[in-house]
Amino acid sequence: MQKTILLSFLVPGVLLAQENASFQERVDARNEAIYGSLGFDVTSQYFFRGLRQENQGVIVQPWINLGINVHEGDGQLRNLNVVMGQWNSLHDGPTGGAGGIWFESRFYLGVEAQVGDRLHFGVRYNTYASPNGVGIGRPIQELQFSGRFDDAGVFSEDFSLQPTLTIAAELVGQRDFGSDKGIYAELAVAPAWTIGKLGESDMTLTLPGTLGLSLGDYYENAGGGGDDFFGYLQAGGVVSAPLDFMPARLGPWSGHVGLHMLLLGDSTDRRNGGDALEFIFEFGMSTEF
Per-residue pLDDT of the chain (289 residues; tens, 9 = 90+): 333 333 333 344 444 444 444 444 444 544 579 999 999 999 999 999 999 999 999 999 999 999 999 999 998 999 999 999 999 999 999 999 778 999 999 999 999 999 999 999 999 999 999 999 888 878 999 999 999 999 988 877 778 899 999 999 999 999 988 888 999 999 999 999 889 888 888 899 999 999 999 999 999 987 666 899 999 999 999 999 999 888 877 789 999 999 999 999 999 999 999 999 999 999 999 999 8
Give residue 6's pLDDT.
33
pLDDT given for residue 198 in this prediction: 83
For residue 47, the model assigns a pLDDT of 97
The CB-side HSE value for 204 (13 A sphere, CA atoms) comes to 21
The pLDDT score that the predictor gives to residue 98 is: 79
The Cα–Cα gap between 49 and 180 comes to: 17
How far apart CA 67 and CA 142 sit, in angstroms, is 20
CA–CA distances in Å: residue 127 to residues 87, 141, 142, 248 = 10, 5, 7, 35
Q: What's the angle, vertex CA 151, arms to CA 148 and CA 156, rounded to 5?
A: 160
- pLDDT at residue 223, as a whole number: 65
Q: How far is CA 198 from CA 191, 195, 203, 240, in A?
A: 20, 10, 6, 10
State the amino acid at position 211 in one-letter form. Answer: L
Q: Of 145, 153, 156, give the one whose Cα is nearest residue 185.
A: 145
Greatest pairwise CA separation for the chain in angstroms = 57
What is the rounded distance in angstroms from the CA atom of residue 215 to the CA atom of residue 185?
6
- Output the pLDDT for position 225: 67
CA–CA separation, 214 and 223 (whole Å): 17
Q: pTM here?
A: 0.87
Q: Please, are residues 182 and 175 in contact by the beta-carbon 8 Å criterion? A: yes
Can you give the pLDDT at residue 13? 42
- Write down the pLDDT at residue 137: 76
Supply φ then ψ for residue 5, to 5 degrees.
-125, 125
Residues 16/53, Cβ–Cβ less than 8 Å: no
Length of the chain: 289
**Residue type at 207?**
L
Judge whether 35 and 69 are in contact, CB under 8 Å. yes
Closest CA to 12 of 174, 169, 177, 208: 208
